[in-house]
Every structure is written in C-alpha cells, then in structure tokens.
Amino acid sequence: MSASKVKAVSDDTLRQQVRARYRGFAAGSGSSASEGQSSSCCGEEAGSSCCGQSTIATQLGYTTDDLAALPEGANLGLGCGNPTGILALKPRQVVLDLGSGGGIDCFLAAKKVGVKGKVIGVDMTPEMVAKARVNAQKGHYANVEFRLGEIEHLPVADGSVDVVISNCVINLVPDKGQVYREAFRALRRGGRLAISDVVATRPISARDRANPALWSSCSSGALEVKELKSLLRRAGFKNVRVDVKVPDEVPESLKGQASLGMVSADITATKSQG
C-alpha cells in the first residue's frame, strides 16, 4: 500500500494521533500518557530521546558549537539528521521549516542567514508553537517567527522563501504529495529543498500503515526511495536526490527504526529558475 496517500485510516485520525504525541513532547512528558508508546520519533523508550544528548546529536550531524548556542528547551530530540547542514545557507535568505517543533533547526538557520535574513517555522501543534516562541524570546532571535498551521497548507505566500527544510516530519503526514506541492509553491525560482527524514527500505504492510501509533512514532509512514523521488518530481522539483544513510552510520538510538526497515536519509531538490 502506498503511503503517499493513506486510505486505510482517515487523515484526521493520523493527525490527531501525531498531534497528541507531540503535545506531550512540548509539555516535556515525552509522549501522550495515554499512548504508552516510545518517547521520540526515533523509537526510544519513554523518558529518553534520539538526539537530546549531545553525543547522539553530534552523530546526527549537529556540532557541539551548534548545541551550545541553542536556548534551553529547543532541542527536543525528535530529529533524524541536521537539515541545516545539508546545504550551505547564505546571509539574507528566507528559510521555511516544516514541522519546526521546539525550534532547533530554525535557530541554527537563523544564525546562518543573519539579521537580514528570516526563518519561519510552521507546526500544527499549538503547544509546540507556543514553546518555540518562548525559546525564540529566550535566545533573542529577532529574525525567527513561528506560525501555527498544517504543512499540507502552508501559511506563507507563493514564491516567498529561498530554502525549505524539515527534520523527521514529512513521514508523519498522510498526504506527502501535497506537502511537496506546497513546498514547491512557497519556494522562489531557484529555491532549494533540504530535508532529513526516514525512508523505507522495504514495503510496509497495510496493517502497519493503518496503525496510528506506529505511524506517529515514525515507524510506518515513510516512503520507499522510488516513490519519494516520484512525488518530488511530480510536484515540479528538479535535481532530486535521496542520500540514504547505511545501517552502519545509523546512531544507536535509531536502531529500532532500522529493524522495521526505516533508515534516515538526506533529501535535496531544486525549483528551476525558469
């Protein structure tokens, strides 16, 4: 069964499960108490995270300098890579983060684009947006703003951003094709996409696709590389590239996902100048 548009369970059911889970992360409880699932997108046990500890975060591509500069509470340990390190961000650029969480990647991007640049984070969980705004105030990030919204319907104007980033979020969305169409719409001509996400290395059963708890823990919503590339190209992107990280490169905290056929990958693409 394709995960580009799930039919076995409703989109709203999946969104509600994801929102409940991430509401728990925003509150600092790890997950919704009623779920009884693992605490992070990386499949760890309750109370831990996949990149909350600096040693794991550096394995995912963050530097110690990156982590030291963050306001407390920005790094919730929910990523599977470092999208701000995939492409070289430049001063004055406008960056859009899909599923911005506590703001870690927004704050790192803000440093790279400088005071004359801008970073916009979009998240569908009100508690996450509130948390990120507090973090921005603590860190005095005047060039960062956070907006409440679904990444399938981005609250940004056409052709208004230079780079779209995202970190272990798009796999959680029911209609991934719509996300990529929206990212394409938001990008200026010549704009770039830089995403860290999980991809499936083998087919996922219909039963697992229809399990909201598995889906919301980044364990059953991922696409296989061929389908992912197809969706990006159909959205209009060029120079599509998916660099899968081999199992030996996967941090120990991601091994649980790897056992289900999930591995992390860096995904890049461009919107043509013409």
d(CA 264, CA 34): 28
Q: Which of 80, 88, 44 is nearest to 62 (CA)?
A: 80
Nearest to 199 by CA among 38, 90, 71, 81: 81
Q: Domain extents for the chain? A: 11-270
pLDDT value, residue 35:
38
Those residues with Cβ within 8 angstroms of residue 62's Cβ, 6 or more apart along the chain or in another chain? 51, 82, 85, 108
Q: What is the model's pLDDT at position 54?
A: 57
Give the CA count within 13 Å in the CB-facing half-sphere of 161.
Answer: 26
Distance CA 169, CA 179 (A): 11
> For position 10, what pLDDT does the model report?
86
Pick from 162, 173, 147, 180: which is nearest to 267 by CA?
180
The enclosing H or E element of 194 equals: strand 187-200
pLDDT attached to residue 31: 45
Show pLDDT as tens, one digit a residue, over the chain (274 residues). 455 554 557 888 888 899 999 999 898 855 433 333 333 454 443 333 333 445 566 767 888 888 888 998 898 888 889 999 999 999 999 999 999 999 999 999 999 999 999 999 999 999 999 999 999 999 999 999 999 999 999 999 999 999 999 999 999 999 999 999 999 999 999 999 999 999 999 998 888 888 888 888 888 899 999 999 999 999 999 999 999 987 655 555 555 555 568 889 999 999 999 7
Closest by CA position to 52, among listed 29, 76, 31, 21: 76
Q: Per CATH, which fold does 11-270 belong to? A: Rossmann fold (3.40.50)
Instruction: Label residue 36 exposed, middle or buried (CB < 10 Å: 0-12, 13-18, 19+).
Output: exposed
Question: What does the pLDDT read at residue 100?
Answer: 97
